[in-house]
Amino acid sequence: MSTSVPTPAGRLRGLRPDWLNNPKVWRTEILAGLVVALALIPEAISFSIIAGVDPAVGLFASFTMAVVISVVGGRRAMISAATGAVALVIAPLNREHGLGYLIAAVILAGIIQIALGALGVAKLMRFVPRSVMVGFVNALAILIFMAQVPEMLDVPWAVYPLLAGGLALMVFFPRITKAIPAPLVSIVILTAITIAAGIAVPTVGDKGELPSSLPAPGLPDVPFTMDTLTTIAPYAFAMALVGLMESLMTAKLVDDITDTHSSKTRESIGQGIANIVTGFFGGMGGCAMIGQTMINVKVSGARTRLSTFLAGVFLMVLCIVFGPVVSDIPMAALVAVMVMVSFATFDWHSIAPKTLKRLPAGEIAVMVITVIVVVATGNLAIGVVVGSVTAMIIFAKRVAHLARVTSVTDPDGTTVVYSVTGELFFASSNDLVGQFDYNDGPDRIVIDLSAAHIWDASSVAALDAVETKYKQRGKTVEIIGLNDPSADLHGKLTGELTSH
């Protein structure tokens, strides 16, 4: 009986990920990267205009962010690039102090993101309720659609049949084959039609001039003084928070879509590294791009880091090598792609009458508030924070009424036992004091907490207030049934929370 010895090449193949040996996956990832790169170009140029910088600054940022995050990020197949949220944050800094300060702020924001990632800020994602997540997704879909509306107003009539044709191709082409992403087919066909027929419609080239060379590394052109640091610090901190919030929410969304887990801590640190690199290459910084991520993951079916890496590489290749051709792509083709993405992203099940009938009113309110705030502000991070705080208030109000006090008097009439049931924290403990009878009844009071749990100092203070009220009436109080954590907290704080 002979045993085969693996060759060096065979051992090497065994160390590689499975998808490297799968031609179908390769094709999917490469084509997905190409589609995303095409969609990134007008977006990056638009965000550059918002930030008040040259289009090349936004395109360079999209290139470096995508390439770097594909290596150091925690969520596979997620796209990071220049974004509107970041552009809005840093636009005032660029307007008042210039590009050098903007670049310096991007680098500092990256450092802050690394620090926040190392401190475990990603763990806060567990406190984002599902209703906020649904509201976030639906608001995102609305924002993606609203961003396309200007491209459909005051345009030549030919834009509308091109837009309709692009949507039709993306709906029906997958029924023929899914080997080639329908958005790519739509972009190629519409571009060919407009060039061949000489149709005059807005194109990518109308958005701005594409760069003709790769970005070069360098230091930001600012004085390295404390004044510079104090000037850029507020903008850098705001950019770091907004970028992390959008990136972590997007990562969670992709986790749900792909039914896989990703390291949010690694993603946080990776976003910081990507922004630092982007700053040193003269880019405007960025974070996860939800629209492009949906194109990559949901529309094109990408699942690996290769698509993210190639999206950045293809972006520069398209700009530098195929700039004239890319400039001729009609905006109608890219608008059709983003409209399809917005419809695919929206959680239609969440607003179905059946779903709304079954959901608690509080969760519906949280979802609606999240959508309204995001759409009104145009900032996903603000909407998530407001939605989460609203959910916590509703939860606290609901749980506050779960603490109950019942009393039983001994047959001999010498002792009354009060049984406290529920979770005692700042909200529920406020009602606790009023549930005891201080004037009537026996002189010996027993408070049984075996069915309760003390969570905070407010609850200990409430129990102290109950004891004080009874003692003022000459009655004795005994607290029994505390579990170990509650007993430890009560023992440390009782009698120490008031000055009298």
pLDDT tens figures, 387-401: 889 988 888 777 766
Helices (H), 52-98: 55-72, 84-97
* pLDDT confidence tier of residue 1, bands split at 50, 70 and 90: very low
Cα–Cα distance, 376 to 374 (Å, whole number): 6
- Mean pLDDT of the region 57-64: 94
- CA-wise closest residue to 254 among 286, 299, 312, 313: 299
Query: Which amino acid is present at 304?
Result: T
For residue 15, the model assigns a pLDDT of 52
Q: By mean pLDDT, which of 28-32, 111-115, 207-211, 277-281 is the weakest?
A: 207-211
Q: HSE of 98 in the Cβ direction (CA atoms, 13 Å)?
A: 6
The per-residue pLDDT of the chain, averaged, comes to 87
Question: What letter does residue 4 receive in the DSSP assignment?
Answer: P
For residue 2, the model assigns a pLDDT of 47
Helix (H) or strand (E) holding 87: helix 84-97
Cα–Cα distance, 236 to 241 (Å, whole number): 9
For residue 499, the model assigns a pLDDT of 54
* pLDDT confidence tier of residue 228, bands split at 50, 70 and 90: very high
* pLDDT confidence tier of residue 12, bands split at 50, 70 and 90: very low
Q: By mean pLDDT, which of 121-135, 207-221, 278-292 is the weakest?
A: 121-135
Helix axes 55-72, 305-320, angle to 10 degrees: 150
For residue 156, the model assigns a pLDDT of 93
Contact between residue 410 and residue 442 where contact means Cβ atoms under 8 Å apart: yes
Q: What is the pLDDT of residues 231-251, one digit of tens each?
A: 999 999 989 988 898 899 899
The residue ranking higher by pLDDT, 140 or 35, is 35
- In sequence order, the β-bridge partners of residue 409 are 416
Q: How far is CA 89 from CA 52, 116, 229, 242, 488, in A?
A: 12, 19, 17, 9, 46
Q: By mean pLDDT, which of 292-296, 304-308, 438-442 is the weakest?
A: 438-442
Say yes or no to pLDDT of 3 above 90.
no
Cα–Cα distance, 264 to 286 (Å, whole number): 17
CB-CB neighbours of 218 under 10 Å: 11
Chain-centroid distance, C-alpha 40: 19
- CA-wise closest residue to 190 among 203, 206, 171: 203
| Rounded (5°) CA angle 365-367-370 | 105
Global pTM reads: 0.73
Kindly state the percentage of the chain with pLDDT values over 70. 94
Cα–Cα distance, 249 to 252 (Å, whole number): 5
For residue 231, the model assigns a pLDDT of 95
* pLDDT confidence tier of residue 73, bands split at 50, 70 and 90: very high
* pLDDT confidence tier of residue 113, bands split at 50, 70 and 90: very high
* pLDDT confidence tier of residue 6, bands split at 50, 70 and 90: low
Q: What is the pLDDT of residues 406-464, one digit of tens each?
A: 988 887 778 999 999 988 888 777 778 888 988 888 889 999 999 999 989 989 999 99
Q: What is the pLDDT of residues 311-332, one digit of tens each?
A: 999 999 999 998 888 888 898 9
| Rounded (5°) CA angle 495-436-405 | 100
Cα–Cα distance, 80 to 66 (Å, whole number): 5
448: left (phi over 0), alpha (psi -120 to 50) or beta: beta
Say yes or no to pLDDT of 369 above 80.
yes
For residue 8, the model assigns a pLDDT of 52
Cα–Cα distance, 249 to 397 (Å, whole number): 26
